Amino acid sequence: MLYHFFQPKSAAAITNDYLSYSIIKDNKTIGSIRVERSFKGDITEYLFESRAKVKILYSIEVYDKMGATFKQNMLQQAKLYRTMNGKIKVNNTAAWNGSSYNLWDKDGSNGSLKQSIVCSTASLYFNEPANIRSVFSEKFQKMISIQKINSQKYRMNLPNGNTTTYTYHNGICTLVEADTDFADLKFVLNVN
């Protein structure tokens, strides 16, 4: 079903609603990312799927599936599912209940968040955060400050000490530089 969902519907869908990135470590491609944006009336949905394989002392294969649904530009639901070498590492959900977000992780209920959310990490690929001060992290289930470095570059300092930097051209993310626990990675937009 995922295979079908991520297949381009037309040439216009590829340019307007679908982005593809190569995951680079030490100048080598170690994986890929697909991000899709769809519109249905006043609902915008973002789907992110990535696979990467990196060898440090041993081989690590990471699979991510992330989704965020916005209604009238307000987050309704966000999910992140991550496996490492086939084992579930993250299974997070945030869902708007009309007054706050209920949060769940792989162990069950994980509290709530009482502010409206207009931007999440899933939406950053299609939307430059020019006037945004904080972004909802599907991984950390909290708002994280985002700082403008220059006219098209933004940085997030993550709660675990890592940083992620996003670079934009014409409002679309062209490069993500992720300082992660196991490697420094670049997500480079594939241009046809």
- Domain count for the chain, please give it: 1
Indicate whether 3 belongs to any domain: no
H/E run at residue 3: helix 2-5
Q: Which residues pair with 78 in a beta bridge?
A: 68, 94
Q: Which domain holds residue 180?
A: 16-189
| pTM assigned to the model | 0.88
Indicate whether 2 belongs to any domain: no
So what's the pLDDT on residue 13?
35
Indicate whether 99 belongs to any domain: yes
Please report, in tens digits, the pLDDT of each residue of the chain (192 residues total): 333 333 333 333 333 489 999 999 999 999 999 999 999 989 999 999 999 998 878 898 999 999 999 999 999 999 999 999 999 999 999 999 999 999 999 999 989 999 999 999 999 999 999 999 999 999 999 999 999 999 899 999 999 999 999 999 999 999 999 998 778 999 999 986
Beta carbons of 59 and 53 less than 8 angstroms apart: yes
- Give the residue among 162, 185, 174 at the shortest CA–CA distance from 27: 185
Indicate whether 5 belongs to any domain: no
Pairing of strands 43-55, 18-25: unpaired
Indicate whether 6 belongs to any domain: no
Indicate whether 182 belongs to any domain: yes
